[in-house]
Structure 1
Amino acid sequence: MRAQSFKTGLAAGVALLVTTQWAAALDADDFAKKFAAAYAAQGAEITYDSASGQGDTVTIKNVKMEVPGEEEGLNFGDLSFDGVSEDGSGGYKAASLSKDKIEFSEEDVSFSVSDLKVENLYVPAQTGGDTLDDLLFYDSVTTGPIVLNVEGNDVFQASRSETKTSKSSDNTRVDVAARVDGLNVDLSAVDDAQARQAIDGMGYQNLSGDIVINGYWAVPTGEITLSEYALTLDDVGRLDLQFSISGYTLDFIKGLQQMQEQMASQSDDAKGQQAMGLAMMGMMQQLTFNSMSIRFDDASLTNKILDMVASQQGMSRDQMVQGLQGMLPLVLAQLQNPDFQKQVTEAVSLYLSDPKSIEISAKPEAPLPFASIAGSAMGAPQTLPQVMNVSVTANQN
């Protein structure tokens, strides 16, 4: 009787183990399929060989990302997701995704990212819905060293990078903050004679600095605002781009996805390309332009350029500046916009005399449909500065 009970219990245990392993495999495969589908919804096709589960860890084998126009995609190798759990509605949460090193290479160029880590990844049950819950999402992505090598030389390096995203409590806004630290650009291997002369003349064999990005996406209106996109290079200067557009809603994203699918199946004939071009113009009409600015704060670049060019021309820097200031009205006369010409001439002249900062901004009184901007650019380009309320200022805090 005891032997029979033991056999029965053993059989039940084996059956439970087999069933559990089979269920884990099914969950892993479902996770992988939904992970790939979420990426596809954002315009990137993911392929893989297989998926397996062990406890709350899911491993997807031989993950590749297809790149449009390229025969060879990007191979990420095996990806392991830890702390995977179902969210109760068919989606998944993963506490972390980590990868020691990812490398891509082609001929004499290689690119590597070390110590990749993604935290609190959310994989939706389905894509194409009307809320943020239908998009792939994560709390943070960090990396260690990033290296671009060309012909044996590390021409670009970064010591680390970090991107953080957060949703508002009502699911209507996404904030993004990112930075890349420890930038190093090695220009010593540049072999073009003219470029080499300029690099040596200004003393910029190596550039170092960082990148800072801040912005948000307001989902209901589709407003995307980039409040800071700043590249700072030591002893060079700081270049900051800011812009704001509206209309990039979830419906707009779905429209883009459908268009991408149509383009993939479209023939290469002229009629098909023309039809897709018109369709894209129609999509762009849904977007509106709110504002944009580009600002450069000088740290020595402008004076070094002026000194180098003046030396090549056999004159002093002051003579070079005066010559440029005299040429500005003649060059800008082609704009056929006297008021704007005067504004630009005054700002650039002031900047050349005392390089501190220069900024170009466009802030229309009301949001402008992209279609109206395109119409002005084609029909009456000289009116664009007024249409977009463009201003050019120098040496302002």
Structure 2
Amino acid sequence: MKADVLDLKGLSLVDGEDTVTIGEITADGVEIPSAADIAAAPNSTKGQATYKHAQLTDILIRGKDNYQVPIRSITMETDDIANGVPHKVSLAINDVSVNVANMPDDDTRKQLTRLGYTSLDLSLQASGTWDEAKATANLDTFQFGGPGIGTLTLTGSFGGVTADAIAKLESAKTPDETTQVLQSLTVNRLDLSFKNDTLVERLLDAQAKDQGTTPATIVEQLSAALPQLLAPISDVTFRNKVTDAGTNFLKAPKSITATVAPPKPLPFAQVLGTAMMAPQTLPDVLNADVKANQ
């Protein structure tokens, strides 16, 4: 079945004590395979529906004890579809509202309350591209966070991402099978950053209250402990960079960034092997760097 526009309203999905209601789903450029294709190949591209643009609005998740999490919208887009596989994808989840006082998990509720949170407003944006000819996949952006917390951002580039590798990952049934596929992939670059919006201050305040001291004293204690904690790292230059960046970030928690930029694509097998056999040398192998407040 093909549809230029698909519009569904007033959906309700029930699974035990969990219920998800969706005000409206709209989708453009929809192609839904036949029942026979789905039954014959449920895990292949032939048995999966495709679309250009889809949006879910006014979502409400109800869990145990009627705990509710409203989500304003979820938007998904795909493009450059070849043989049923999109080569460009994006996802946006906007305004996930969490009432801390009603959270069903006691430990999580207590920890968030301890940090001064009464509610959370979370969002996520992600996008990626796949160059099939070059066997390269890029995580163009992955951002998660919210006001009063901060924003975590991850970008990256990976090699060896072929159609065969993707098919094997989808069909892998054991961790060993997954590991075998990952060994054929490479890390080209990774950038991870966190932009603080009072989360660090809240953590320092809470720790200071627990110890009956001040946040400034906690910062001094952590800064003094960093060199000892990082002593196992054999790369002295990197160790000093992390120490300086960590100290600067604790004293003025604005942002911190970690970068992995090997001079040439680094096989996952080498990364895993180094992590297991000589983890203290991993920063040098990855050509890693850490910066704060830049």
Do the structures match in fold with TM over 0.5? yes
* Aligned mates of 1:212, 1:280 — CA distance in 2: 26
Q: Which residue of 1 aligns with 2:187?
A: 289
Cα offset for 1:308? 1.7
Q: Which residue of 1 aligns with 2:131?
A: 218
Q: Which residue of 2 aligns with 1:113?
A: 22
* Aligned mates of 1:105, 1:133 — CA distance in 2: 28
The 5 A counterparts of 1:206-245 are 206-245=119-158
Segment drifting more, 114-123 vs 172-181: 172-181
Cα offset for 1:137? 2.9
* Aligned mates of 2:169, 2:88 — CA distance in 1: 22
* Aligned mates of 1:133, 1:386 — CA distance in 2: 43
Aligned-residue CA RMSD (Å): 2.9
Moved over 6 A (4+): 124-128, 132-135
* Aligned mates of 2:63, 2:231 — CA distance in 1: 43
Segment drifting more, 179-188 vs 150-159: 150-159
1:99 aligns with 2:12: no
CA offsets 1:287-327 (integer angstroms, 9 cap, x no match): 11111122111111111211121122111111111011111
Q: Which residue of 2 aligns with 1:250?
A: 163
Structure index of larger Rg: 1
1:315 aligns with 2:213: yes
Contact 1:230–1:240 (Cα < 8 Å) also in 2: yes
Q: Name the SS of the counterpart of 2:23 in structure 1.
A: strand
When normalised by structure 2's length, the TM-score is 0.85
AA at the equivalent of 2:271:
I
Q: Which structure has the higher relative contact order (CA within 8 Å, separation 6+)?
A: 2
The 5 A counterparts of 1:284-363 are 284-363=182-261
Q: Name the SS of the counterpart of 1:208 in structure 2.
A: strand
Contact 1:172–1:220 (Cα < 8 Å) also in 2: no
Q: Name the SS of the counterpart of 1:144 in structure 2.
A: strand
1:139 aligns with 2:48: no
Residues 191 and 209 (structure 1 numbering): CA distance in 2 closer, same or farther, change over 3 Å? closer
Q: Which residue of 1 aligns with 2:76?
A: 163
Cα offset for 1:168? 8.0
1:392 aligns with 2:294: no
* Aligned mates of 2:236, 2:96 — CA distance in 1: 42
Residues 189 and 326 (structure 1 numbering): CA distance in 2 closer, same or farther, change over 3 Å? same
Cα offset for 1:394? 0.5
The 5 A counterparts of 1:28-43 are none
AA at the equivalent of 2:61:
L
When normalised by structure 1's length, the TM-score is 0.64
Q: Name the SS of the counterpart of 2:232 in structure 1.
A: helix
* Aligned mates of 2:105, 2:178 — CA distance in 1: 39
Cα offset for 1:142? 0.4
**Unpaired stretches in structure 2, ≥5 consecutive residues:** none
Cα offset for 1:239? 1.2
Q: Which residue of 2 aligns with 1:373?
A: 271
AA at the equivalent of 1:224:
A
CA offsets 1:251-270 (integer angstroms, 9 cap, x no match): 2233345x44xx4xxxxxxx
CA offsets 1:82-136 (integer angstroms, 9 cap, x no match): xx5xxxxxxxx322333324444444333333312221023579899xxx99975
* Aligned mates of 1:161, 1:167 — CA distance in 2: 21
* Aligned mates of 1:167, 1:205 — CA distance in 2: 43
Cα offset for 1:376? 1.2
Total equivalences in the alignment: 286
